[in-house]
Structure 1
Amino acid sequence: MSGLLTALLEDIRIEYIARMQANGCTEPYLTAERLCHEKLFLETDRLAEIIQQDPTLLAARAGELIMNRQESENPSVGVIICSNILAAALEGLMAVAVEQDWLDVDEEGNVLVDDEELAQDAQYIIEADYSRSEHAKQVIAQGGVSQLSQIFSAAEAAFLDLLRENTRERDAYQLALDISSDYSVFAPEDIAPLIAENPLLLGLRPEDLIDEELFDGDPPAGLIISAHLTRMMLHQMLELGVEQGVLMLDSSGHIVVPDQPEEPPTLH
């Protein structure tokens, strides 16, 4: 766990104890749940810093953790990761409640929460906006070549090299698929620096980009980013193919792709 995240969770623990003491040690579960929702949907740039320190957070999945109905159907990467942080924090606060004798456990070690607390179907508003990032604005203002641009440029160079040897339309489309797979799929430790550079990647959503059969329809947060980058790169390669005269446009200006193409870009 990153140092930033460890410090954050410790602050949450301290505030939980203070709130419980202030309200007469009542509603230990709801107090913990409210506190976590208030504090743990982190703003974009802060979450990006935490992910840079701990890329394993990109393995997080939405599961049944998102209590906001509007976000649960097509959650952003940021919401998925924060929901997992929240779940871990809530579990930790339940352990604090047991230590303080605010809650009991059964013979199997399960925390016993009052039915009245569990019956309250709270719908928490997620105020974090992962389509905003001050850091991303600063990077754009400074100019220069980003890490993601370097990767796309390398893919473009590789695609052009291969086109020189494969000029048929079918080959060009398949090569675009191959290059997209080779250059746009990243491990968590590869994605984290890209997020640190451009935290707006945390605003990406699944948007039916990933086969429902994969990961039981609940893809890891990092794979959602990979899927978007793969699609972006494929489009760039296809446009390059048009520029090179090996792919054609139809009357509507859309790229004509061969019938029954081979496998789509592979998401590992």
Structure 2
Amino acid sequence: MYRLQLHIRVGQNIVPQIQPGVMTKRFHAFIFSVIQRIDPQFAVDLHNRKKRQLFSFFIDEDRILIHSPNKRVIQCLQQGLFEVERIDLRDWKGRIQEMHCKQIHESDIEAAFSTYVTLHFLTPTTFCHGKIYYPLPELYRVFTSANKAYEMATDLMVPPEQLQAIAYRIRIDYLNLQSKQVNFDSFRINGFTGKLELSLKTLTDQEQQLAWKLLVYGSLMGIGYKTAWGMGQTRIEPFEQKHFSNSR
């Protein structure tokens, strides 16, 4: 798994932080334009991909985090962003000041293991099944989404019945959510943001390790629907604190 971190200087009279919606949809298109400039065929393959997209992003006030399990995605973005130097989304403009890449190994995830997990849902999150939205952090849906990120990063897939057995036995210690709607111009999606604290102590040792890995990979790639458009971006503790506390 890779994290590409961009430090941005936002233009004058522009709101620094972008909320998911039309602007993040434009940034999604911007990412494709950068990749296309470097490797046109790879960009076509990405665009035509039927499975979950190979990147997600979170736009903060002065930085942008892009995650991908695919090295070629990161290579194209590094080269392309170095050439363009600035990001122009019409109503939002920023100049790239610094760019850093970090490879996250499975050993890094294992070293940060904790039986107490906090998920911060930073941008509106929802789940979609059969064109129906489910804007609640039901744990089986959280783990099903995380399983897709886990598969992309490790080429391993946890069977649904095992996911179900894990999700149904995890203890929820704290939950605080707010409902938020995302406007993509041509359609709107209801989602949630907030904080979810979990205890994995009700699981076996092996299940604890697996649940931790799933949640970390899921948080890096985003949880739920439209993560490549900026939704479902999640911060997981204590992993972020242990590995990226000095990366701002």
Question: What's the TM-score, normalizing by structure 2?
Answer: 0.25
User: Hey, which of these two has a bigger chunk of helix by percent?
Assistant: 1
Between structure 1 and structure 2, the one with the greater Rg is: 1
User: Hey, which of these two has a bigger chunk of strand by percent?
Assistant: 2
Question: What's the TM-score, normalizing by structure 1?
Answer: 0.24
